[in-house]
């Protein structure tokens, strides 16, 4: 996959690169804004109402837009719907809907009812309408299956997604948290039935979790799919904020929702982070910028999702845009950090 620049005649901040989404003509910024912290902490029901309030969320979205970030990612389950509502009110108040590539998701269980989750036709058609209402828009640029649903036949899910594309409510389809073999089966099914196919894949990918390299990235390269990694900084671990023998900083993910990252608390991880810090110091850059540049320098990656909690936390992301890593640079950094765990559980957002 070859990165693509902005369309001819378009005026965008010079430091931001825009890449094509798979085989489509859609262009997204190399950095995307993850909105999982608006009104909650991801899909964790116990934390609905925490995270960033609307004032903080608006300031973060304003800063992202100023930087030229045009890719905003949320989900119907984030904050129990609060994230979509905040994004929708921001879009309406700023009158920038046409300039934003808006992605949201479906599948995560929303309540105790037997049909309040999954990828059935019923749930998809119900939830796309609910997301459109919360977001205050007539269409979604990308509609993503948030997780796999082994109890629903892929033909049912893909036909429902094809219908919302044909209706004009959705422009493109994506998949998240999916294995390579299942992704390939979905692509084959879409091709066989003549349905809209997955064009974008959103899995975790960072220097502390490289599982995507085993199956998903090879499938993406072979099938010209766009990779949109979430958690490119491993929940802040790759910025150096967590230190050996010291408590986690107040307000950090490890103090709010440590579960998904608890297995990183070991000597192997800290050894790997020491190696990353040494490499960053030699280059004269921050750990976070180098770790993020490592992700975005993969040829299949079109947009890495960052989730700052304050506007000033975009600094490492912006710094990463000035770094260019070759394939040899990427491999050398991996080798320096080879003590890092290679396959840790992915956090469910």
What structural domains and CATH numbers belong to the chain? 18-234+291-326 (3.20.20.100)
Catalytic residue among 78, 143, 230, 261: 78
Does the structure show a pLDDT above 50 at 116?
yes
Model confidence over 213-258: pLDDT tens digits?
999 999 999 999 999 999 999 999 999 987 877 676 666 665 566 5
Please state, in angstroms and rounded to a whole number, the distance separating the CA atoms of residues 197 and 334.
33
Please state the rounded mean pLDDT for residues 337-349: 57
Contact yes or no for 36/83 (Cβ under 8 A): yes
Which residues lie closer than 8 Å to 320 by C-beta, 6 or more apart? 31, 288, 289, 290, 292, 293, 296
Counting residues of the chain whose pLDDT is more than 90, the rounded percentage is 81
Confidence of residue 6 (pLDDT cuts 50, 70, 90): very low
Contact yes or no for 202/238 (Cβ under 8 A): no
242 is catalytic: no
Please state, in angstroms and rounded to a whole number, the distance separating the CA atoms of residues 108 and 85.
17
- What backbone phi and psi angles, to 5 degrees, belong to 316? -65, -35
Confidence of residue 263 (pLDDT cuts 50, 70, 90): confident
Model confidence over 135-180: pLDDT tens digits?
999 999 999 999 999 999 999 999 999 999 999 999 999 999 999 9
Which DSSP symbol is given to 346? Answer: P
Please state the rounded mean pLDDT for residues 88-115: 97
Contact yes or no for 276/291 (Cβ under 8 A): yes
Tokens read off for 202: 């959103």
- Residue 279, helix vs strand vs coil: helix
Model confidence over 285-341: pLDDT tens digits?
999 999 999 999 999 999 999 999 999 999 999 999 999 999 999 999 999 998 545
The DSSP H or E segment spanning 216 is: helix 216-223
Please state, in angstroms and rounded to a whole number, the distance separating the CA atoms of residues 309 and 56.
8
For tokens 């046409």, the residue is 98
Q: What share of the chain is helix, strand, coil (3-state, %, to 5)?
A: 45, 15, 40
Of 181, 183, 89, which Cα lies nearest the Cα of 135?
89
C-alpha radius of gyration, the chain, whole number? 19
Please state, in angstroms and rounded to a whole number, the distance separating the CA atoms of residues 343 and 329.
21
Please state, in angstroms and rounded to a whole number, the distance separating the CA atoms of residues 238 and 210.
14
- What backbone phi and psi angles, to 5 degrees, belong to 156? -65, -45
Please state, in angstroms and rounded to a whole number, the distance separating the CA atoms of residues 224 and 23.
6
Please state, in angstroms and rounded to a whole number, the distance separating the CA atoms of residues 254 and 166.
43
Q: What is the pLDDT of residue 5?
A: 37
């Amino acid at each position: 996959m070859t990165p693509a620049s902005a369309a001819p005649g378009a005026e965008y901040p010079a430091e931001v690169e825009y890449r094509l989404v798979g085989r489509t003509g859609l262009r997204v910024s190399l950095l995307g804004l993850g909105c999982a912290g608006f009104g909650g902490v991801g899909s964790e029901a116990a934390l609905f109402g925490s995270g960033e309030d609307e004032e903080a969320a608006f300031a973060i979205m304003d800063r992202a837009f100023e930087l030229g970030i045009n890719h905003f990612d949320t989900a119907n389950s984030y904050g129990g719907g609060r994230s979509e509502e905040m994004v929708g009110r921001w879009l309406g108040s700023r009158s920038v809907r046409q300039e934003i590539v808006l992605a949201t998701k479906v599948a995560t269980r929303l309540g105790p009812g037997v049909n309040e989750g999954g990828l059935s036709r019923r749930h998809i058609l119900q939830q796309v309408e609910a997301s459109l209402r919360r977001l205050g828009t007539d269409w979604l640029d990308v509609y993503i299956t948030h997780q796999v649903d082994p109890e629903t036949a892929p033909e049912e899910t893909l036909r429902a997604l094809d219908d919302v594309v044909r209706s004009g409510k959705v422009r493109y389809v994506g998949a998240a948290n999916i294995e390579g073999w299942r992704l390939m089966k979905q692509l084959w099914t879409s091709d066989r039935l003549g349905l809209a196919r997955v064009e974008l894949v959103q899995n975790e990918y960072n220097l502390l979790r490289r599982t995507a390299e085993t199956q998903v990235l090879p499938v993406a390269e072979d099938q010209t799919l766009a990779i949109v990694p979430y958690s490119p900084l491993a929940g802040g671990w790759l910025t150096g904020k967590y230190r050996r023998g010291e408590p986690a900083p107040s307000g950090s993910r490890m103090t709010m929702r440590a579960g998904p990252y608890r297995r990183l608390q070991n000597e192997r991880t800290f050894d790997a982070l020491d190696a990353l810090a040494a490499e960053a110091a030699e280059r004269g850059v921050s750990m976070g910028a180098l770790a993020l540049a490592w992700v975005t320098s993969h040829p299949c990656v079109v947009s890495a999702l960052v989730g700052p909690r304050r506007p000033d936390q975009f600094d490492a992301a912006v710094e990463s845009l000035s770094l260019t890593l070759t394939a040899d640079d990427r491999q050398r950094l991996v080798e320096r950090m080879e003590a890092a765990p290679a396959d840790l559980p992915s956090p469910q957002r």
